[in-house]
Amino acid sequence: MTDTNISTNSKAKAIAAIVLPYLLAILASFVASGIFIAIMGFNVPKAFATILFTSFRTPNGFIQTLLKFIPLMLQALAFTVPLAAGKFNIGGEGQLIVGGIGATAVGIIFADLPLPILLPLVILAGVIFGGFWAAIPAWLLYRFGINEILTTVMMNFVSFGLIDYVATQIWRDPAAGHPTTIPIGAGGELPMLISSPPLHSGIILAIIVAVGVYIYTNRTSAGYELIATGANPRASKVYGINTRKMFLLSLIIGGGLAGLSGAIEVAGYQHRLIEGLQSNFLLLGLIIGLIAKGDNSAVPFVAFFIAVLEIGASAMQRTMMIPVEMVFIVEALVLLFVLLSDVIRRR
């Protein structure tokens, strides 16, 4: 056997050693959740077929999966980038909301501008507003050493009041029965890739950003400093890395990514600010980041898997009357078994 064949076999075994535990963990999570579904008196094979294949049966199902995938991936990256520096950004929900507010404000105030000018301004406003919202707890950590978990969570609650005020007092749409603003200018809307079923170009922007995040964290010296800070802050400080600034920077980048998800929701999907547009993206983003174990290269794949589960869960609820919370059980079990697989592999 040649050296090339030996090397190929070694790589294949190494990949299998990494992937196999995750596949077994996912399988175990479905077996465990299947027991719950059976106890509830539902058809287990039909339920799983609905969850796993709804996204691929029709063009509309696949498009809805992609639309769900965009904010989930960005929310997960908003968590994993600070996580690389050893910080926990639990404020992605509020940063998404404030990013959406910034995008909406620019889209309404400058509604008459043409698309080549207004659309970049709308997207940039979302990133800046989200980054600013994360900069507040980042500064409190930098200046006073206040734990970022507490402050980022508290900022979420402030954002709820802020979106309610904007949607009901400043740019309220009197024709809407729910707190909603008037639409942004047509020039602030993301171009459509497909008209029926509708898919906007935010999917391209999100993928480009995900690639950029991976390059930054894994292929640049600045990203190396970020990861080194998270791996060993004391040693990093000894070797000249300003760890406090790395903590600050990581949270602001995370906030900008979350703000971008809000801007894309406004510019690509809603075309206005709607109270509740954050859905359950924060919780799912945290789950995605934890399942991916902070690996930015794995986040898009895990995010797509979770998006498939989400769309399948909605279909399962409509067609089989199974509570949609069942998918949260599946996702939680996937996370639990993935973590257990790591423990077993180490032992």
Tell me the per-residue pLDDT of 216-266, one tens digit each, with 9 for 90 and over: 999 999 999 999 999 999 999 888 899 999 999 999 999 999 999 999 999
In the chain, where are the structural domains located? 13-42+323-347, 59-321
Given this model, what pLDDT does residue 247 score? 93
Residues listed for the chain: 347
**What does CATH list as the number for 59-321?**
1.10.3470
Between strands 198-200 and 192-195, the pairing is: antiparallel
Dump pLDDT digits (tens) for 268-318: 988 999 999 988 899 899 999 988 888 999 999 999 999 998 898 888 888
Collapsing DSSP to helix, strand or coil, 180 comes out as: strand
Q: Is the C-alpha dihedral spanning 103, 105, 107, 113 positive or negative? A: negative
The average pLDDT across 55-77 equals 94
Q: What is the pTM of this model?
A: 0.92
Given this model, what pLDDT does residue 140 score? 95
| Alpha carbon distance 311, 308 (integer Å) | 5
Dump pLDDT digits (tens) for 131-173: 999 999 999 999 999 999 999 999 999 999 999 999 999 999 9
Element (H, E) at 140: helix 115-144
Is the pLDDT reported for residue 19 higher than 80? no
Given this model, what pLDDT does residue 16 score? 66
| Alpha carbon distance 72, 302 (integer Å) | 10
C-beta of residue 71 within 8 angstroms of C-beta of residue 264: yes
What mean pLDDT, rounded, does the chain reach?
90
